[in-house]
Structure 1
Amino acid sequence: MTGAAPTGRLMRAACLTSFAGPDGVRVCEVAAPSPGPDEVLVAVSTVGANQLDLNTMRGLGPGAQTPLPLVLGIDPAGTVVAQGAGVDGDRRGERVVVKPNISCGQCAYCRREQEADCPSQTVVGVHRAGGAAEYAAVPARNAFDIGQLDFEVATAAVHSVPIALHALRAGGRLDPGAAFLVTGATGAVGSAAVQLGRHVGARVVAASTSRAVAGSGVRAVHYDGPASLVEQVRRLEPAGVDLALDTSGHGDVIGAALQCLGWKGRLVVCSASLAKDVCVDARALYLNRQSVIGAASADYHEVSEALRLVTTGAVRPAVGRRFGLAEMGEAYAAIGDRAREGKVVVHVA
């Protein structure tokens, strides 16, 4: 091991102690980690609060395999202070942000550099200790150099922008002038998707339950229910949209987005909440040659590409509310606000 790791020290961390939702989270003192082989130790500055955290707190989805107690936090950003054996070069002092999903590196998808589709991937802050703590030990490959990018912006970007980029590609080519609908457009992934659509020259419809939905070069739709969403989008795009990307994760919204598709329209679902039931018109899906695609995570090269887009200003992730580590309960509660704008960020340091 290289560097001054806080071996034997106690650190503050947000720990999940029971599958009781946010009530199962405690900010307490735990032993600080040391980096293992091929790992780096990050002194954390910021970390996000995410829907995946809420699912983990309830033991749902990937959270069903969560070992308790567990330090939460999937997307920490901070400074490398130590590294384990096998890490190339000296990364101490490097400013980094962490890609949450860790691929196995051995399956057919990983060998093709399609790590987002690795069936054996694990997640920082879900299957192993995360970054809602003063220190986090993570695979060196998952720690991306951010140069002088602000830690808060890096945390807001590392999960949302690559996922939006991957989801767009999963949905097929989005040509300039194509009709593109984003639901949940004021959330972290939704905001990134809107900006990516605008970047490629699509006709973007940004839809949200928040009245704050807006944006230069896009058409904003504020809806208060599925029927309202369909009516307003169809008014803007009578022939339907070419591509819809749902980032809300709500079944009723996903069903409405399906009704907004045009001929050979594609719907990409890249989020999942507790409202999971979806109503599908199978006849319309079949006759109109439409497709529904699930997309999660991102390939490693897409994370690098997304961070470059953020660094150049082509995409600017929205930061919504900010909290301190002692306010983790309030941070997680803020995720459930469907009128929320941007990423909920927790400042650890």
Structure 2
Amino acid sequence: MHCYCVMHHGQPLERVEKEVPQPVGTEVLVRVKAAGLCHTDLHLWEGYYDLGGGKRLNLADRGIKPPMVLSHEICGEVVSSGAAAGSVKVGMRCLVHPWIGCGECAACQRGEENICTSSRALGISRPGGFADYVVVPHPRYLIDIEGLDDAEAAPLACAGVTTYSAIKKLGDRIHREPVLIIGAGGLGLMAIEVLKALGAKGAIVADIDPAKREAAIAAGALAVIDAKAVDAAQQIIDATEGGAGATLDLVGATPTVSLSIQSARRGGHIVICGLMGGDITLSLPIIPMRPLCIEGSYVGTLSELRELVELVKRTGLKPIPVVRRPMAEVNSAIDDLHHGKVIGRTILVP
């Protein structure tokens, strides 16, 4: 089979020929039909996360080293399974939950494999979707997508479940006031659609890119704001009639977190999902005096992904814009994403 591997960080992926893997035990072999490319893949390709102040979190320090097969947004069809996998239907069209843990720690026992400290996530610790086939450790990670398009469903495994899980953390606020969304990339556009499907009040979107702001308006945002405007925080305060009570920061960079805090009302709730990096200096009395809730959210659980797929099927949740490209164009796709040329999601297909 063909797979596209990171052999050296920051260098073009290389096409590698391998034997088609044979599933054993509870494993399931899935033929890849669609594989998404997201900013996490960029960080993995680069080999580090920016911690700010000149500091980096290097993947090698976490035991993650090339060669790596990226992509954790995977749709495909079941080809075969191991003897202990049970009655897995060959030909089943499925979305793969990639956020797989060790299965034994306290987090995994709570159903929170996505925050397992011994992660075995596909596309990170285990080979992902930029290949002809992917091995999934257990059939419970396969979600039936009958009736859905492969390329449109693939982003649900990351952009979808990340925003869905983060929105759930905001609770009933989403029905009482608009949610401020910072970042109108794939996650931002997905968040707008999820909010609509949940019957929320709506979204006000901030982004530095005019094209992405236009995409947010087309997706149904109540208003858009240029995040780099000198008075961006005041514009948000005015648009939300006193400050944002519910904020999703889908960028997670120094300027966006600063904007989130500056534009929040008293008692505001900020959920940070983005991993772009940086750091902030924060006066601690501000948190209790305003008072603010600043919370992190990392992708989502298997049960949340199942909930999201059911929500999509039940409500007809509109998919985010996707650009289908041949798998052989993966390096050009990475370059386009790196330079901010992508609206929505790039999906690589065989």
- TM-score, length-scaled by structure 2: 0.88
Shift of 1:314: 4.6
Which of the numbers 275, 287, 290 marks the counterpart of 1:288?
Answer: 290
Q: Which residue of 2 aligns with 1:183?
A: 182
Q: Do residues 149 (structure 1) and 137 (structure 2) align? A: no
Secondary structure at 1:289 match in 2: coil
Q: Do residues 26 (structure 1) and 28 (structure 2) align? A: no
Supply the distance in 2 between the matched residues of 1:60 and 1:242 (Cα, whole angstroms): 33
Task: Provide, for residues 175-201 of structure 1, a one-character-per-residue CA deviation record: whole Å limited to 9, x for no partner.
Answer: 42223101112x222112222223332
Q: Which residue of 2 aligns with 1:202?
A: 201
Q: Which residue of 1 aligns with 2:168?
A: 169
Which deviates further from its counterpart, 218-227 or 255-264?
A: 218-227
CA contact (8 A) 1:210 1:339 kept: no
CA contact (8 A) 1:334 1:344 kept: no
Supply the distance in 1 between the matched residues of 2:278 and 2:318 (Cα, whole angstroms): 30
Q: Which residue of 2 aligns with 1:346?
A: 348
Task: Provide, for residues 269-309 of structure 1, a one-character-per-residue CA deviation record: whole Å limited to 9, x for no partner.
Answer: 11202x42234354433311101111102111111111112
CA contact (8 A) 2:152 2:322 kept: no
Which deviates further from its counterpart, 165-174 or 88-97?
A: 165-174
**Pair 1:35–1:283, CA change in 2 (3 A):** same
Unaligned 5+ residue runs, structure 1?
1-10
Shift of 1:94: 0.4
Supply the distance in 1 between the matched residues of 2:223 and 2:340 (Cα, whole angstroms): 16
Q: What is the RMSD of the two structures over their aligned residues, measured on CA atoms?
A: 2.1
Supply the distance in 1 between the matched residues of 2:5 and 2:232 (Cα, whole angstroms): 38
Q: Do residues 306 (structure 1) and 308 (structure 2) align? A: yes
Q: Which residue of 2 aligns with 1:333?
A: 335
Supply the distance in 1 between the matched residues of 2:179 and 2:227 (Cα, whole angstroms): 20
Aligned AA (1:132): F
CA contact (8 A) 1:55 1:63 kept: no
Q: Number of paired residues?
A: 334
Aligned AA (2:2): R
Unaligned 5+ residue runs, structure 2?
50-57
Which deviates further from its counterpart, 338-347 or 210-219?
A: 210-219
Supply the distance in 2 between the matched residues of 1:231 and 1:341 (Cα, whole angstroms): 27
Supply the distance in 2 between the matched residues of 1:346 and 1:63 (Cα, whole angstroms): 24
CA contact (8 A) 1:210 1:340 kept: no
Supply the distance in 2 between the matched residues of 1:146 and 1:27 (Cα, whole angstroms): 29
The equivalences for 1:310-325 within 5 A come to 310-325=312-327
Q: Which residue of 1 aligns with 2:120?
A: 122
Supply the distance in 2 between the matched residues of 1:335 and 1:310 (Cα, whole angstroms): 26
**Pair 1:219–1:281, CA change in 2 (3 A):** farther
Shift of 1:155: 0.7
